[in-house]
């Protein structure tokens, strides 16, 4: 990859690429907004994984959203009798990707997964993040990068560094997801309108990041204490988390309930938008709450919150001060950094955010 040429670019069509986790996608949305401001006449399409592609549908800056069926492909490939279904999925994605020729492709991931999209797409110029800012691609890989590395900055600022290299010099936009509020069915809407808006507690993270979870007993204590204050408490989790979710509900008492199950991430984003507050570990649910402007508390241990955590004024991040936090480990046998976060601090942070939110509503 080479530094971007100094002459100004005037692309009429742009493809942005950001695969991987939900939180990673959400943290490039301010940069997408900046890109749209920099090139208001350009048609902008996006490629992301099918799990989170629904979050971008109806986004005002996007013309088309392409879904890479990565999870579906993995699932098919693991079952020999289903492997034949993988090739039609790949062919369909490739066909849709190559329907449009792009003046510019922006790869906000710059790893071997996103490189596949680079190779398949028809684009005159490709720009990725600076090699010193992460990614897996070697320096000789085709494409351009910003003239200077962004450095150890928040992931939002790293994505913005690419747009700044294209000439944008504004303040950081807030970012937004697409139109998700119509993703709730009528039964679920009726359930949510029956009483006070709930506080959503999301104790779980993806399987490969279990050491980022707060201890189960702490979630029980928090749920029980908030319920005793008169709040409506919901515990959410994915299909694989049902057993542990139900254990937290049972251990927290009669006033704590499992959150209504949603059919996909888009519906989950809609559900979050109807909550009064959210508490979650370092996971995509926390970022969804933040971008939906819901008062939310994030619990961090292994990851550095100055780089990865939401930073909107209606969010609050808690982390312990033990010497080994943050770290660069992929797994840990003890997770002292998470267990050292006290329940009382989490509850206090949430209640302060809720009080502040009530005051702001009253002032308007």
Do β-strands 315-319 and 296-300 pair in parallel, antiparallel, or remain unpaired?
A: parallel
Per-residue pLDDT at 209 exceeds 90: no
Same fold, 2-165 and 183-363: yes
In what helix (H) or strand (E) does residue 171 lie, and over which residues does it extend?
A: none
Whole-angstrom distance between the N-terminal and C-terminal Cα of the chain?
51
Q: What is the mean pLDDT of the chain?
A: 90
pLDDT at 75: 83
Question: For the ranges 190-194, 207-211, 225-229, 239-243, which has the lowest average pLDDT?
Answer: 190-194
- In the predicted model, what is the mean pLDDT of residues 287-298? 97
- Please state the CATH superfamily assignment of the domain spanning residues 2-165 in this structure: Glycogen Phosphorylase B; (3.40.50.2000)
What residues does each domain of the chain span? 2-165, 183-363
pLDDT of 188 reads 67
Quote the pLDDT of residue 364.
45
**Contact present, 54 and 73 (Cβ < 8 Å):** no
Q: How far apart are CA 69 and CA 62, in angstroms?
A: 19
Reported CATH class of domain 183-363: alpha beta
Please tell me what DSSP assigns to residue 18.
-
Determine contact, residues 62/29, Cβ cutoff 8 Å: no
Confidence of residue 322 (pLDDT cuts 50, 70, 90): confident
Residue 203 has a pLDDT of 96
Q: What is the rounded average pLDDT of the residues 319-331?
A: 84
Q: Let me know how many helices (H) and strands (E) the chain has, helices first.
A: 15, 13
Quick one: how far is CA 45 from the chain centroid?
Answer: 19
pLDDT exceeds 80 at position 159? yes
Residue 71 pLDDT? 83
Confidence band, pLDDT 50/70/90 cuts, at residue 149: very high
- The pLDDT tens digits of the residues spanning 351-364 come to 999 999 776 755 54
């Amino acid at each position: 990859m080479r530094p971007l040429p100094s002459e100004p670019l005037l692309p009429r069509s742009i493809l942005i690429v950001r695969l991987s986790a939900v939180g990673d996608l959400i943290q490039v949305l301010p940069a997408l907004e900046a890109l749209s401001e920099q090139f208001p006449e350009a048609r902008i399409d996006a490629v992301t994984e099918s799990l989170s592609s629904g979050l971008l549908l109806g986004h005002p800056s996007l013309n088309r959203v392409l879904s890479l069926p990565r999870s579906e492909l993995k699932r098919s490939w693991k079952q020999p009798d289903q492997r034949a279904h993988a090739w039609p999925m790949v062919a369909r994605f490739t066909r849709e990707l190559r329907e449009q020729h792009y003046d510019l492709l922006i790869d906000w991931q710059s790893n071997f997964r996103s490189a596949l999209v680079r190779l398949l797409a028809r684009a005159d110029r490709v720009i990725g993040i600076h090699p010193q800012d992460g990614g897996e691609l070697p320096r000789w890989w085709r494409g351009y990068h910003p003239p200077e590395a962004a450095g150890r900055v928040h992931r939002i600022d790293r994505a913005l560094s690419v747009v700044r290299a294209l000439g944008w010099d504004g303040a950081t936009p807030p970012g937004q997801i697409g139109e998700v509020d119509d993703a709730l069915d009528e039964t679920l809407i009726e359930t949510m309108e029956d009483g006070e808006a709930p506080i959503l507690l999301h104790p779980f993270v993806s399987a490969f990041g279990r050491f980022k979870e707060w201890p189960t007993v702490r979630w029980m204590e928090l749920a029980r204490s908030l319920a005793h204050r008169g709040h409506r408490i919901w515990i959410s989790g994915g299909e694989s988390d049902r057993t542990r979710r139900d254990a937290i509900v049972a251990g927290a008492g009669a006033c704590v309930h499992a959150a209504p199950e949603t059919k996909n991430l888009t519906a989950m984003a809609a559900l979050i938008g109807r909550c009064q507050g959210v508490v979650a570990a370092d996971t995509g649910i926390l970022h969804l709450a933040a971008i939906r402007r819901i008062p939310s508390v994030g619990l961090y241990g292994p990851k550095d919150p100055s780089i990865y955590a939401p930073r909107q004024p209606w969010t609050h991040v808690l982390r312990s001060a033990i010497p080994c936090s943050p770290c660069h480990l992929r797994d840990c046998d003890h997770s002292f950094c998470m267990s050292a976060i006290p329940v009382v601090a989490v509850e206090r942070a949430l209640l302060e955010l809720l009080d502040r939110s009530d005051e702001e509503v009253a002032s308007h």
